[in-house]
Each structure stands twice: as structure tokens, then as C-alpha cells.
Amino acid sequence: MNRELWITKYRPRTLDQYVWRDPNMRSIVEQWINQKSLPHCLFSGQQGAGKTSLALLLLDLLGISDLDILRINASRERKIDELQDKVINFIDGWAFNPTGLKYVLLDEADKLSQHAQGMLRAEMETYANSCRFILTCNYSRQIIPALHSRLQEVKFHTLDETDFVMRAADVLDQEDVRYQPETLMAYVKATYPDLRKCLGVLQQNSRFGTLLKPSEATESDYFTDMVSLFKQGRYRDARKLLIERASPDDYGNIFRSLYQNLALFGGTEDQQDKALLAIRDATLNHNVVADQEINMAACLVELAMIARS
């Protein structure tokens, strides 16, 4: 049985297959392709917004082989000396494509320390004629100004929920998976706006050509389960589940999902306004608190108190 990951199988291969946020973004990309090279780029936006997919699509369309691409995940490779050695050793070799350019694709660049970002700035200047850098990040404000100024930023806004649903439904249709609209929407509500995560959850919970309801799934998404517990008034169980299952890297998307589900915390406008403010405060604190898990847990306590009021 073919168990290729859907997020890989349905990665866009042409400009028309990519889900564009606005015509200006596509115009910029088409200009780069016509020039047959990219500037140093910064793709910023939430997880699952299509940043890495667009970077790989661009490199495919420019005919850049894997031999001329160095992929680095900054959340896993933070030792500055090792990172610098890897980049320099890669750049020093000859390019295997007619453009003469190599490309470093650095995911989650906002996880790098300021010192490491300073190193990247120096390498960008030194090797500008032989190598280009593509950085992806969730929060562009965490990129130091000296590095930011050398990058052309493209901001990835949240995908419209209708387009999100249509893309998820299209993948299910291509995989011949039967589903009820309300079942699909349950998974969408739990994962929006992270399309990558949504496709992973849909694949995980598709059995024998049918999309299981969240309550039937053997390994249902933890956010879907948390939503169910909140609806039952089991607020402490919901908080415990989320804290146990989610990683700090997920918290940014969890805040967005909570915002998309304000009705969980009360049926009145006053309750939903208070919930929005609690989520706003927790989001602001997320990158400055000493312990992000405590910040998330405290937010869920506030939301539970609002729901009970």
C-alpha cells in the first residue's frame, strides 16, 4: 500500500497548482523566474502557510538540482560553528546548474540566535555572487535588522478558510476518500490555518476509503479532542490534554485555532470578547515569558473561567 505523505504527494509542481494569497505575490515570483535567479529571500508567516512549498517550487522551476541546494532546519542545528562550517563547505564547491548559483534554504530562521544571524549576514555579503539564501520564519520581527535589510521579504498571510477547505476536499477527492462535510469541517476547525497539519491529520484518520469522525479516530488530533472536552464543560481535562500533547512549537498555531473558535468560551458577545483579550495577552507573552507552557496553561485557565461565567 502506498503511504506517501499527502503533504509531499500534493506539493505544488507548477505556479497554477500553488494556492496564492494575492496577485502581487505571484507577480513577484514570476519576475524572479523570468530573471532565472532569486534574491536573498525571507518568507514569513504562520506554520503550514506554504513558505517552504513555495521555496521548493521556485527551485524546481529554476532547474536547481538537489546537489545545489543545502537545506537546514534552524530549530535542530543551532551550534554556530557547525552551521558556519556546513554553509561555507557547501558554498565553496562548484555549482552544477547553468546559473552558477547555489541556494541555502534555512527553515525556522527565527530560531537562530542573534550571533548566528550575524554570521549569516556576513556569508550573504561574501558569497552574494555564487550563493543565495532563502530563509523561512514564523516571526520576522525576530530576524535582526542587519540581516533583515539584506533579504527581500514576502509575507504569507493566512489562507482564506474557504480556500483551505477546498484544498483539503480536493486532496480527499483525489485519494477517493469518502467524507461527510461536517466531519471535514471538524478537522478544519482543529487545524486551520495550518494546511500541512490538516493534510497530515486527514491522512492519518482516513481508513479504507472513508474519513473517520474525530470520535471514531484511533489517533485523533489532540486539538479536536480538546475542543470536544471544552464543549462538555470538562475544562481541566481539556487543559491537561493540550499541555500533555502539544509542543511549544505548536503554541502559535494553537492560539490562532483558539481565536478561530471563540464560541467555545461562551455564547455571548461579552464572553467571546473577554476570550479574545485573554488569547491576545497570552500571544503577546508567548515570546517573552520564561516558561511558554505555563503561559499556555494560564491562558486555558482564563478561558475556562470565562466559559463558566
- As a whole number, mean pLDDT of residues 73-102 equals 84
Domain assignment present for residue 259? The answer is yes
What is the sign of the dihedral through the CA atoms of 35, 109, 142 and 160? positive
Domain assignment present for residue 28? The answer is yes
Rounded to whole angstroms, the Cα distance separating 262 from 36 reads: 46
Choose one of 198, 219, 240: the last residue of a domain: 219
Number of domains in the chain: 3
Rounded to whole angstroms, the Cα distance separating 258 from 250 reads: 12
CA separation (Å) from 74 to 113, 185, 290? 10, 33, 21
Give 32-81 pLDDT, tens digit per residue: 999 998 999 999 988 778 899 999 999 999 999 999 999 998 877 767 88
116's grid cell? 548566528
Same domain, 215 and 241: no
> Is it the case that residue 5 has pLDDT exceeding 50?
yes
Q: Residue 211: which CATH number?
A: 1.10.8
Give 142-159 pLDDT, tens digit per residue: 899 999 999 999 998 877
CA separation (Å) from 209 to 7, 105, 175, 265? 18, 36, 8, 35
DSSP state of 265: G
- Chain mean pLDDT for the chain: 87
Confidence tier at 1 by pLDDT (50, 70, 90): very low
Rounded to whole angstroms, the Cα distance separating 255 from 197 reads: 15
Same domain, 230 and 284: yes
Domain assignment present for residue 133? The answer is yes
At 219 the pLDDT is 46
Alpha helices (runs of H) in the chain, residue ranges in sequence order? 6-9, 23-35, 51-61, 80-92, 114-126, 145-148, 161-174, 181-191, 195-204, 222-231, 235-245, 251-260, 269-285, 292-308
Q: What angle do CA 220, 223, 227 make, to 5 degrees?
A: 105
Q: In which residue are the cell numbers 480536493 written?
A: 170
- As a whole number, mean pLDDT of residues 115-140 equals 90
Tell me if residue 280 falls in helix, strand or coil: helix
Same domain, 10 and 151: yes
Same domain, 129 and 151: yes
Domain assignment present for residue 180? The answer is yes
Tell me if residue 300 falls in helix, strand or coil: helix
pTM of the complete model beyond 0.75: no
Which among 15, 81, 90, 102 is positioned nearest to 53, based on CA atoms? 15
Same domain, 149 and 165: no
Same domain, 86 and 182: no
If one compares 257 and 39, the residue with the highest pLDDT of the two is 39
At 260 the pLDDT is 80
If one compares 207 and 101, the residue with the highest pLDDT of the two is 101
**10 Å Cβ neighbour count for 241?**
17
Q: Percent of the chain having pLDDT more than 70?
A: 96
Same domain, 289 and 301: yes
Domain assignment present for residue 301? The answer is yes
Domain assignment present for residue 1? The answer is no
At 78 the pLDDT is 66
Q: Percent of the chain having pLDDT more than 90?
A: 37
At 276 the pLDDT is 94
Give 182-220 pLDDT, tens digit per residue: 999 988 887 887 888 889 889 988 988 999 887 665 445
Rounded to whole angstroms, the Cα distance separating 167 from 236 reads: 34
Domain assignment present for residue 16? The answer is yes
Confidence tier at 241 by pLDDT (50, 70, 90): confident
Residue 98's domain spans which residues?
6-156
Domain assignment present for residue 149? The answer is yes
